[in-house]
Amino acid sequence: MEGGKHSKITGMKMRENEGYKSYSLKIYGIVQGVGFRPFIYKKAKEFAITGWVNNAGGIVVIHFSGAKENIKNFMLSIVKKPPELSNIEKIECKALGKRIYSDFTIKKSTEALGKVKFVSTDVATCHRCVEDIKTLENNRYRYAFTNCTDCGPRYSIIKKLPYDRKSTTMKSFEMCDQCREEYNNPLSRRFHAQPNCCGKCGPSITLMNNKKEVIKCIDPVETTIKLLKQGKIIAIKGIGGFHLVCDGKNEAAINVLRNRKRRAHKPLAVMMKDLSVARKYCMVSKVEEDVLSNNKRPIVLINKRENCSLPENIAPMQRKIGAMLPYTPLHYILFEKDLEILVMTSANISGGYMQYKNKEALCMLEHIADYFLLHNRDIEIPVDDSVVKVINGEEVMIRCGRGYAPYTLNLGVKDQIAALGAEQKNTFALSKDDFVYLSQYTGDLKDLNSYINYKYVFKHLSNLLDINPQIIVQDLHPDYIVNDFAEQLKGRKILVQHHYAHMVSCMAENYISEKVIGVIYDGTGLGTDGAIWGGEFLVGTRNSFERVGHFKYVDIQGGDKAIREPWRCAFSYLYSLGYGKNDFIENLYCRNHLQKPLVEEIEAVESALEANFNCYKTSSVGRLFDCVSSLIGIRNYITYDAQGAIELENIIDSKVLDCYEYNIYEKDGTMQIQYEDIIEGIIRDLKKGIRKEVISAKFHNTIIRATCDLVGIIRTINGINKVVLSGGVFENEFLLKGIYNGLLDGGFEVFYNKKIPTNDGGISFGQLASASSIINEEGIREDVSCHTRKSIKY
């Protein structure tokens, strides 16, 4: 709900009689740190309103008096044209007794009335502050921490609400006279801008080398630019944490960064100087331009131009590149001296969490960065860059972070609930008084430091919003590390199956409560039968589901190792079809000079399959994609999550419309999609020497058609016409669009995740929405000690 367009005013009954009236307003939403109080002050002056306004807890409170017509215009102006960065969720109004105010004032903030709290996200530098830093005569010329009420850090520096300077990491910086005058002037755009500062009184920048020695120079940023042009790797501290930065046109420097960071192939994000540079190297649609340049400034995945001259090692084997535009004053200054593109990737070692403290960064990154560009404004809470893409002309969230987190949605959830999320691509979700708050991305919790950071972020956001959860929601998987955290939390525990959480995340985002067909494709997730699911057709509501279909099970050998080594998936599928190690080695093995598994390893996997040792049954579409990527010579070993599947999508020959044979059959009351004919068709094409680009297209087309066919069968049986698509595999844009359009052509209503990540970053949101629905069922509330699985219908 942008800018309060859908806000509601409750409780106001204007009296017909003339004369002055007095009222109290409580305004809920993103109304702190966005210039709301000076906005109210100016409107009060404009409409001859007297009284006062202040921040109270997480809301804005106004007590005011005025003539009837003036009050009407005053309130309409608040609702219809609030500050750009605000988001009004609700306005409560009640009449006061006769009160006479001599003027309109802005009162000191209080911590009272904090029933519902909202947190403003970090906002990109506004165009007026950009002009300030570019104007030689301005006192903030080239000052890296310039901000106003329309821009700058928010969530990353907040210690507690209400949002006042003393409650942020800016507390230690005493404003100079000029900044204080701006801060206290209701007519200034820096009135009560809590991070307000200038070069005389605010944070400062220091350049150091990786031996922790300060580099003595007149201008640390200008020296940094020179170092970047020399091919050096710089760790630069930003709003939410450190980035590792190098010249985006220097292939050798990028290789050095990859080697040091141990990130062999995963695409690296880049920052481009401006839109004209983005257009030069990428095919940028109007919607993508709007998303790139909005005040959130996410990383946007956009198509590279044919014959794009950027180094291939930025995003190997990818058609898209993750690009963002400058969003802090420091970024704008970095691009002053002829640099066009900077690689700007999160400062961590692959699998770890983003560094955000100076001392730790200097230690943890000393073997990666040559130099460190530091500043002395503390980051209270780390927030990584958000990642989005545009599908069917709409922005779709991939990773929730800076500019979006904490993401707030009104789901009418009354209970205080904490949903702990998945183990990979983790987020958590909290709820209170109707609203659900989705945290920023916290990474892969298998990494110990990421898990420690997860607990810190959880505690911080819970305290910030004054949420003390009484209900804890977690995944079925008994080995997730978040289960250890759940044991530390008091309250009733509810388990929600992984793929069902994906389904409900899409339902809740689209405000769907009735029964739907859920098509959920991802890599792993423990099913209710103890197998690993991932190719699921579910029917249900937000509080219960039935599994009505899935891809046929296959035995995969190797546990988590099979995910990192897709050749194990390929061999497991072939073994189920009766092929042995000799067939694999002689005919189908290690095409296009891929890194080869040892013959001894293949023999060991075959023996383990024969003995059913360290094997698991799975219906995972993600593992099927891994199998095909290995079979056709794309990837036998991966260096990042879903690499084989991602590269398989990127080679599709979109002119190919054919598909492989497939079969859908019923077994034990459940519909199943058979994989045997698909794999055999691929093997025949391989033996014929068919190009892998064609095989990839035919394989994708097969999954699309089989999915649409099975959904049609389920509709015939169940009479349901609404379909939701969710799960990490649906990050595959070709697959998503194909199934979406195919189902639309079949007369279905189709929904997919847009605001909430379709990958495991959306699991917590689905967990919470499902748990809320479950506890609202008749009788569930009666036994608050009721444990886990009994609360959920399968």
User: What is the pLDDT at residue 790?
Assistant: 31
Dihedral through CA 520, CA 525, CA 526, CA 531, nearest 10?
80
Rounded CA-CA distance 306/695 in Å is 22
73 and 170 belong to one structural domain: no
Residues 358 and 264 in one domain: yes
SS3 content of the chain, % helix, strand, coil (to 5): 35, 25, 40
398 assigned to some structural domain: no
- The answer to whether residues 505 and 487 touch, using CB atoms and an 8 Å cutoff, is no
Q: Residue 97's domain is classified under what CATH number?
A: 3.30.70.100
What are the DSSP E strand ranges found in 212-363? 234-237, 242-247, 270-272, 282-283, 299-304, 320-324, 341-346
Which of 185, 202, 219 represents a domain boundary (last residue)? 202
Q: List, in order, residues 6 or more apart from 325 with CB less than 8 Å away.
A: 271, 272, 274, 275, 278, 292, 293, 297
Q: Are residues 179 and 93 in the same domain?
A: no
- 36 and 69 assigned to the same domain: yes
Q: Using an 8 Å Cβ cutoff, are 649 and 696 in contact?
A: yes
For residue 385, tell me if it sits in a domain: no
Please say which residue of 149, 178, 202 terminates a domain. 202
Shared domain for 76 and 198, answered yes or no, is no
Please state whether beta strands 270-272 and 341-346 pair in parallel, antiparallel, or not at all (unpaired).
Answer: antiparallel
Three-state SS string across 427-443, please? CCEEEECEEEEECCCCE
Task: Let me know if 54 is a catalytic residue.
Answer: yes
Does the annotation mark 392 as catalytic?
no
Q: Report yes or no on 570 lying in a domain.
A: yes
Q: What is the pLDDT at residue 783?
A: 35
| Rounded-to-integer distance, Cα 591 and Cα 11, Å | 71
Asked if residue 512 and residue 437 are part of one domain, the reply reads yes
Question: Under DSSP, is residue 252 helix (H, G, I), strand (E, B) or coil?
Answer: helix
* Full domain range(s) for residue 440: 406-516+720-727+743-794
| DSSP for residue 545 | E
- pLDDT averages per 10-residue partition of the chain, 794 residues: 41 48 86 82 89 85 90 88 83 83 85 71 96 96 96 95 90 96 90 93 97 95 97 97 98 97 95 97 97 97 95 96 98 95 89 88 96 97 97 97 95 94 96 94 92 96 94 94 92 96 98 97 95 98 96 95 94 94 71 68 93 96 96 92 96 97 94 97 93 97 98 97 98 98 98 98 98 77 34 32
The count of other CB atoms within 10 Å of the CB of residue 417 is 26
Q: Which of 54, 147, 453, 650 is catalytic?
A: 54
Which residue type is seen at 551? F
Are residues 228 and 180 part of one domain? Answer: no
Place of tokens 């847009």: 754
Same domain, 313 and 418: no
Spatial separation of the C-alpha atoms in residues 56 and 83, rounded to whole Å: 18
88: part of which helix (H) or strand (E)?
Answer: strand 87-95
529 belongs to a structural domain: no
| CB 79 within 8 Å of CB 7 | yes
CATH number of residue 340's parent domain: 3.90.870.40
| Co-location of 304 and 352 in the same domain | yes
Contact assessment for residue 684 and residue 715, using Cβ atoms and an 8 Å cutoff: no
Decide if 69 is inside a domain.
yes
Same domain, 562 and 703: yes
Domain with residue 703: its CATH number is 1.10.357.160
Q: Which domain CATH number covers 763?
A: 3.30.420.360
Q: Which residues pair with 540 in a beta bridge?
A: 516, 545
- Residue 469 in any domain: the answer is yes
- Stated as kind and residue range, the H or E segment containing 461 is helix 448-464
> Are 506 and 749 a contacting pair, CB within 8 Å?
no
Task: Note whether residue 528 is domain-resident.
Answer: no
Catalytic residue among 15, 17, 37, 721: 37
Based on the fold, state whether residues 83 and 14 are members of the same structural domain: yes
- Show Cβ contacts of residue 92 under 8 Å, excluding neighbours closer than 6 positions: 9, 10, 11, 25, 26, 28
Reduced to 3 states, what is the DSSP secondary structure of residue 592?
helix
Structurally, the chain folds into a number of domains equal to 5
* Residue 303 β-bridge partners: 283, 320
In the chain, how long is the greatest CA-to-CA distance?
95
Question: Helix axis angle, 692-718 relative to 676-688, nearest 10°?
Answer: 160
Q: Shortest CA distance to 461 belongs to which of 412, 411, 506, 400? A: 400
- Residue 604 sits in the same domain as residue 460: no
